[in-house]
Amino acid sequence: MTPRVVVTGLGVVAPIGIGVGQFWKSALAGRSGVSAISAFEGLPMEAYRSRVAGQIHDFNVGQYIEGPHAERVDRYAQFAMVATKEAVADSGLRLDRENPRRIGTIVGAGMGGMVIAEQEYHRVYQNLRPNRVTPNFIPAVTLNSASGVIAIMCGAKGPNLTISTACSSSAHAIGLARAAIRSGQADVVIVAGADASIVPLTFAGFCSLRALSTSFNDTPERASRPFSQTRDGFVMGEGAGVLILESLAHARKRRARIYAEVSGYAATSEAYHMVIPREDGLDISSTMAMALRDAGVQPAQVDYINAHATSTPIGDVVEIKAIKRLFKSRATRISINATKSLVGHTMGAAGALAGIICAMTLSTGQIHPTINYDDPDPDCALPGISTQAQERPVKVALLNAFGFGSNNAAVVLEKFLP
């Protein structure tokens, strides 16, 4: 029989909290983690069209992880290590008692080690001394550096993989971790999503793409405003989320606490445009439909959607169009929220953060507010979107994640019923 897959541990490093307790409390309170970027060393901030971001301030990996190794990896991998440590502890797994070959690591990362990358690019072109590039450059910037260090830290000898599909990376990581457990490759998979690319060149690139919010530089906490009429682009965020996925049999054997079941997943391509979704939302609605079919759930059973909702003019309206197309009259009875209203768009971490929010929502019945939805766009408005926290029994949750490169992911999580 194909194993059922459950979530047994959570860990997070986010602009609104390090640790799931603080993160969830801030989310329910509708606290914004977006602030003004104080400076990019030496660069004129006024030349950046967008000057706000969801940054994690005063992060020092040494506070969380002992030893020299964590300091040698890039910031995004440090976030992933800290969130992994929390998630493993939260799951109650005793890694030293597990068969290491049955534990996998799958990480979603969109940009990877951009902090060290930009530092070294800058140094080599400025100093013209290629023999003075740090030996740690390549191990730190290869896109699978986070999955490597997590596997080493946890002694995990199962599949050790990195999924890079831009903004949807860790949603696909959740789906592929479930697939790895269902196919018998692993009993446990540490699923992480992480990115930390609020650095001068990368940030400037997103500015040039005209993808970022520019009208709220003086009121940063208002800049990320999914579904609002005055939204004008996304806000860059950074962070990491980790979920411990486990076969139900393995979780039961060790009497683990179960947050939720991961019951469905779909991945599709729009084969359309590198950075723009198809305006009819057809591929998005069919992705959600496929994930629900995979879970054996009818659209009418869905209670809650964690929307991709990045706060871009096109993206939000297309997602709502797709939701209306698939769910028809049910669309008005589903609670929907946008986690990015709180933390900005954490790129590779976004799918994992959404997964954590779904797991917490399923296990508590609480739905965090969508902040800055104070001037609803009529083309996005649905009664289930609220600036207030909501409470209702949630049995079926769906999370959406779409990525540059024309790719879509949808994951179904359900309240665990034995």
Partner 1 sequence: MPTESDIALRVRSALAEYLKRDVKTIKSGDTLRDDLGLDSLATIELVYQIEEAFDLEIPDHDLPGLVTVANVTAYIEGKLGHA
The set of catalytic residues is 167, 308, 345
Q: In the window 59-118, what residues touch partner 1 (CB under 8 A)?
A: 62, 67-68, 72
Block residue for tokens 């990362």: 109
Of the two residues 68 and 393, which places its CB atom closer to partner 1 in the complex?
Answer: 68
204 with 197: CB under 8 angstroms?
Answer: no
111 with 195: CB under 8 angstroms?
Answer: yes
**Could you say whether residue 3 binds partner 1 (CB under 8 A)?**
no
Q: What is the DSSP letter of 387?
A: S
Binding mask 116-155 for partner 1 (x = CB under 8 A): ---------------xx-xxx--x----------------
Of the two residues 92 and 139, which places its CB atom closer to partner 1 in the complex?
Answer: 139
Smallest gap from residue 142 Cβ to partner 1 (A)? 13
Smallest gap from residue 68 Cβ to partner 1 (A)? 5
Alpha helices in 300-411 (DSSP H): 313-327, 340-343, 350-364
Binding mask 304-343 for partner 1 (x = CB under 8 A): ----------------------------------------
Smallest gap from residue 117 Cβ to partner 1 (A)? 17
Describe the crossing of helices 200-208 and 114-127 by its angle, rounded to 10 degrees. Answer: 100
Tokens read off for 153:
């830290």
27 with 388: CB under 8 angstroms?
Answer: no
Per-residue buried b or exposed e for 392-416, using 16+ beta carbons within 10 Å of the residue's own CB: eebebbbbbbbbbbbbbbbbbbbbb
Smallest gap from residue 135 Cβ to partner 1 (A)? 5
34 with 54: CB under 8 angstroms?
Answer: yes
Q: In the window 348-407, what residues touch partner 1 (CB under 8 A)?
A: none
Size, binding site for partner 1 by CB under 8 A = 10
Smallest gap from residue 84 Cβ to partner 1 (A)? 20
- Which stretches of the chain bind partner 1, using CB under 8 A? 62, 67-68, 72, 131-132, 134-136, 139
